[in-house]
Amino acid sequence: MHDAMRLPALREIIGALIFGANRPITARELRQCLQEVASEDSEVAVFAEASIKDIEREIRALHDELQLRETGFGIYEVSGGWRLQSNVSCGRWLKNLLKVKPQRLSQPALETMAIIAYRQPISKAEIETIRGVGVSHVIKQLMEVQLVKIVGRSELPGRPFLYGTTSRFLEHFGLKSLQDLEQIGPRVFTRKMQADTGETDQTEDDASSDNQDDVVEETDKSVVSDNEKGQVDESA
């Protein structure tokens, strides 16, 4: 097998690494790998010079090639890294071959997931205020399947746990990063992007986020200001 001796092209190395990584891998990780191997072996030292930009260019070239050649799978960005995955249009055959049972979230679990995703870090009590019903059981299950994790503790009395999303959450919903959530519910997200440390800060953003809700006409403004009041009272 003299093929092993042949020096591969940068694109091939990157393709092989993304293929073999078994998890989303970042351009940064790819560069680190190239540099590490280069430092061990002068023969391939040239690859240490590849910049993040170079690497990303090759990833895109690979992406385009696979797309174009209709291989049935491609390179996609998921949970902050690149990985190979099958085309969604071929899903039913893979489901048949692998006999997988997809894991689906129930409606209450999805709603709790949505609240945690957009309002993280958030305590159980705050989630329950929004949902109007207990969520202990749902949170426990979301944690068991690693879609939700404890990200800290609140400064409030009793120091309740604060919950947030995991990287598995991103994978499960096929999101590149938390920024992707913005596309789903942009206004809600802005609240989260602004300082979400102080409880009072949230009220302002409520104002903007509520606007997106249908049915709303001119009454909206006063509605919103009242909303702020209510919110403050509650969280205090």
Partner 1 sequence: MAQDEYKVDLEVFEGPLDLLLYLIRKDEVDIYDIPIERITNQYMEYLGVMQMLDLNIAGEFIVMAATLMMIKSRMLLPVEDQNPEEEEDEGDDPRWDLVRQLVEYKKYKDIAGQLQEREYYQEHVFGYGGSNAGAKDVEDPGVALHDVNLFDLISAFQEVLKKAPPEELGEIAEDRFTVADQIDTVLKTVRTDGHIRFSQMFGRMASRNEIICTFLAVLELLRLRQISAVQDDHFGDILIQPGNPDEAMELGEGAGSSEEGAVHA
Complex with partner 1: residue 42 or 53, whichever CB lies closer: 42
Minimum CB–partner distance for residue 96 and partner 1 (Å): 12
Would you count residue 161 as binding partner 1 (CB under 8 A)?
no
Angle at the Cα of 205 (from 80 to 139), degrees rounded to 5?
Answer: 55
Region 37-96 residues binding a copy of itself, contact defined as CB under 8 A: 37, 40-41, 44, 62, 65-66, 69-73, 80-81, 84, 86-94, 96
Contact partner, 209, from partner 1, a copy of itself, none, Cβ < 5-8 Å per class: partner 1
d(CA 39, CA 45): 7
- What residues pair up with 149 in beta bridges, in sequence order? 164
d(CA 163, CA 184): 20
Would you count residue 116 as binding a copy of itself (CB under 8 A)?
no
Handedness of CA 192, 197, 199, 205 (dihedral sign): negative
Would you count residue 84 as binding partner 1 (CB under 8 A)?
yes
Would you count residue 220 as binding partner 1 (CB under 8 A)?
yes
Minimum CB–partner distance for residue 29 and a copy of itself (Å): 5
CB-based contact 206:231 (threshold 8 Å): yes
CB-based contact 184:165 (threshold 8 Å): no
Region 20-49 residues binding partner 1, contact defined as CB under 8 A: 20-22
Would you count residue 97 as binding a copy of itself (CB under 8 A)?
yes
